[in-house]
Structure 1
Amino acid sequence: MTNSEKYLDIYNKIDNYLKKSDNYDSYVNFSQKVKNTKNKVAQRYKDELLSFGELRNAIVHNPKIGNKAIAEPHDTTVSQISELFDKISNPKKVIPEFQFQVLGAKKNEFINEILVEMKKHSFSQFPVFDDNENVCELINNNTISRWLSSQLDEDGTIIIENVKVADLISEIEFKENYEFVSRNTSIYEAYDLFINQINKKQRNLDVIFITHSGEIDEKLLGLITIEDIANLV
């Protein structure tokens, strides 16, 4: 099988996948599919896909010489379109990519233990759970710093005794600044939630929480920050 044959086979797989996933009519051409697709991966790699379409046209519409295509793709080009098809048809999901035990605390718990865990595991934020074990807020390092500043005496002394998680909630800068997604959400869809928040509100989401179906009353399977996901997409 020549590189041009391999290339056209993968190209057709991408074309058919976009047609089925976006429910396009048969007369819609490849470039129209790419430009109007709802597929997050195809949107992200739109320019590459359009370039692949141009190469496909060069292979198909030019006459062969000695029964060989004039435009014969390099091995790297075949690998690139193959990898892109895999990303489009089977993108990485947030689970298991970001699956881990999420440490948090209830409102009525003292902050001592959760602060020790934050230092031990080098994490910068934790969810606050209500009595039903559902997330009701998020505490981060900035919240803790603002709270500590509010406790300063005139001489700069800080006296901290019997402080509960609930005491920190008033210092949260942006309340409920998080989203929930299901375990089957692609990393590209999750990343777009961060970008959409920035575009709409000129600030970033603190985290995205992952549950089985994306519902708030389900067990947390993991969480994502924009720093976690940026390098993957």
Structure 2
Amino acid sequence: MTNSEKFLDTYNKIDNYLKKIDGYDSFVNFAQKIKNSSNKVVKRFKDELISFGELRNAIVHNPKIGNKAIAEPHESTVLRISELYENITNPKKVIPEFQFKVLGAKKEEFINDILIEMKKKSFSQFPVFDENGFVCELINNNTISRWLSSQLEENGTIIIENVKVGDLIPEIEFKENYKFVSRNTSIYEAYDLFINQINKKQRNLDVIFITQNGKPTEKLFGLITIEDIANLI
């Protein structure tokens, strides 16, 4: 197959997929499907896909020269539209992409051990678990700094003795500033949760927790920060 044939084959797969999932009639053109699609990947790469639609029209609607398409796509273009097709129809999921053991602590535990783990593994926040082992809050470096400031003596010394994780919770600046998603959530859907939070509340989510069905009363499979997912996308 020529590059133009490979390109058109993938283009038609995308077109048919959008027609099927959104229930479009045959008279709706490709650009309209792209602009109106609710698919997260399509929305993210809308301009690029519309450009591919224009390239398709140049290949199809112009006469061939020597039985060859007048607009023969580069190999990189063929690879790119194939990559977009895979992302549209089968986007990466948050699991296994962000699957790992989540370190946290219960409210009644002393703060010492989790602080040692934070330093050792260079992470900046940890979930607080209730008596059943489910997430009930999130403590980050900002919380710890606020708590330390509240413990300052008049002479500037800080006395830290028998401090429990639950003692830090009152110093959390934004309570419950996290969300839960199911393990089958795409990385693009998860990324949009961060962006929507910024747009609506002018602040970022601390993390997104991943469980089986996106419920807080389920085992944690992993968590995502905006830095993690922005680098991936």
Q: Which 5+ residue runs of structure 1 have no aligned equivalent?
A: none
Matches within 5 A, 1:1-233: 1-233=1-233
Partner Cα separation in structure 1 for residue 126 and residue 23 of structure 2: 41
Deviations 1:110-141 (A, max 9, x none): 11111111111111100011111111100000
Partner Cα separation in structure 2 for residue 8 and residue 196 of structure 1: 35
Partner Cα separation in structure 1 for residue 161 and residue 24 of structure 2: 63
Using the TM superposition, give the Cα deviation of residue 211 of structure 1 relative to its aligned residue in structure 2, in angstroms. 0.5
Give the partner amino acid of 2:154.
E
Deviations 1:147-180 (A, max 9, x none): 0000000000111111111100000000000000
Partner Cα separation in structure 1 for residue 23 and residue 208 of structure 2: 30
Secondary structure of 1:210's counterpart equals: strand
Identity over aligned pairs, percent? 82
Secondary structure of 1:126's counterpart equals: strand
Give the partner amino acid of 1:98.
F
Secondary structure of 2:232's counterpart equals: coil
Deviations 1:4-36 (A, max 9, x none): 111100000111111222232222211011001
Give the partner amino acid of 1:21.
I
Partner Cα separation in structure 1 for residue 207 and residue 81 of structure 2: 32
RMSD between superposed Cα atoms in Å: 0.9
Partner Cα separation in structure 1 for residue 167 and residue 150 of structure 2: 11
Using the TM superposition, give the Cα deviation of residue 90 of structure 1 relative to its aligned residue in structure 2, in angstroms. 1.4
Partner Cα separation in structure 2 for residue 183 and residue 35 of structure 1: 28
Secondary structure of 1:231's counterpart equals: helix
TM-score of the superposed pair, with normalisation by structure 1: 0.98
Give the partner amino acid of 1:104.
G
Give the partner amino acid of 1:202.
Q
TM-score of the superposed pair, with normalisation by structure 2: 0.98
Partner Cα separation in structure 2 for residue 161 and residue 24 of structure 1: 66
Give the partner amino acid of 1:50.
I
Give the partner amino acid of 1:112.
N
Deviations 1:175-230 (A, max 9, x none): 00000001111111111100000000000000000001111111000000001111
Partner Cα separation in structure 2 for residue 193 and residue 119 of structure 1: 28
Secondary structure of 2:127's counterpart equals: strand
Secondary structure of 2:11's counterpart equals: helix
Q: Which 5+ residue runs of structure 2 have no aligned equivalent?
A: none
Give the partner amino acid of 1:193.
L
Partner Cα separation in structure 1 for residue 226 and residue 70 of structure 2: 45
